[in-house]
Amino acid sequence: MGKESLISQAKKKGGRPPGLASVTQRNVRYVQKMFQEHAQEAMETMLEIMRDEEADHAVRLKASNDILNRGFGTPVSTQVIMQLDEKDKGSAVSGAQIGQASTDELQSVLATLQRYLEAESKTVDVTPVMPDGYPES
């Protein structure tokens, strides 16, 4: 599928015209779908390069890292996910307390939580956390 075909197909779908200003969720999903169709082939290529003993060590290492990062995430993104998971564990409110609360109290708590989640969703902490025992500089 050539560039011209992609442009004409995007024009048929309506919305903003193709170009730098046309990065929409629909366009991103469309491109992701196109790339996902070749994911198996890309994985096989990376494995082939990684296992090629005649290939340059740097190339083999890059292929190995790419495979690991796609399978388990990059070290920084993995740390961020782990921190977010830790935040989500446990609750200070028990089921009994929720069951005893009035509708007005629950709606008030809901409004407060929605404001908190909205503010929290706009903030991402990407500070890397070094594992225990990691040498300090």
Q: What is the pLDDT of residues 87-126, one digit of tens each?
A: 666 666 667 777 788 888 888 888 888 888 887 777 666 6
Q: Which two tokens stand for residue 38?
A: 């070749």
- 85/28: higher pLDDT: 28
Q: Answer yes or no: is pLDDT of 15 > 60.
A: no
Residue 121 counted as domain residue: yes
Mean pLDDT confidence for 43-50: 90
Q: Is residue 69 part of a domain?
A: no
Nearest CA-CA partner of 19 in 1, 32, 2, 6: 6
Spell 58-70 as b/e; 16+ CB within 10 A means b. eebeebeeeeeee
Q: Which two tokens stand for residue 94?
A: 């028990």
Predicted pLDDT at 72: 76
Mean pLDDT, to the nearest integer, of 69-96? 70
Q: Is the pLDDT of residue 51 over 90?
A: yes
Alpha helices per DSSP H over 1-137: 3-12, 25-36, 39-51, 57-72, 75-88, 95-100, 103-121
Give every CB contact of residue 43 below 8 A, 6+ residues apart in sequence: 67, 70
116 domain residue, yes or no: yes
**Mean pLDDT over the full length of the chain:** 76
* DSSP annotation string for 54-79: TS-HHHHHHHHHHHHHHHH--HHHHH
| Residue 129 contacts residue 81 (beta carbons within 8 Å) | no
Decide if 79 is inside a domain.
Answer: yes
Residues of the chain with pLDDT > 70, as a percent, come to 62
Q: Is residue 96 part of a domain?
A: yes
Residue ranges making up the domain that contains 123: 74-129
CA proximity to 4, closest of 22, 18, 23, 25:
18
> pLDDT value at position 102?
85
Count structural domains, the chain.
1
Q: Is residue 109 part of a domain?
A: yes
Min mean pLDDT across 22-36, 50-64, 66-80, 83-97 is at: 83-97
Q: Is residue 80 part of a domain?
A: yes
Q: Residue 111: inside a domain, yes or no?
A: yes
Res. 16: pLDDT tops 60: no
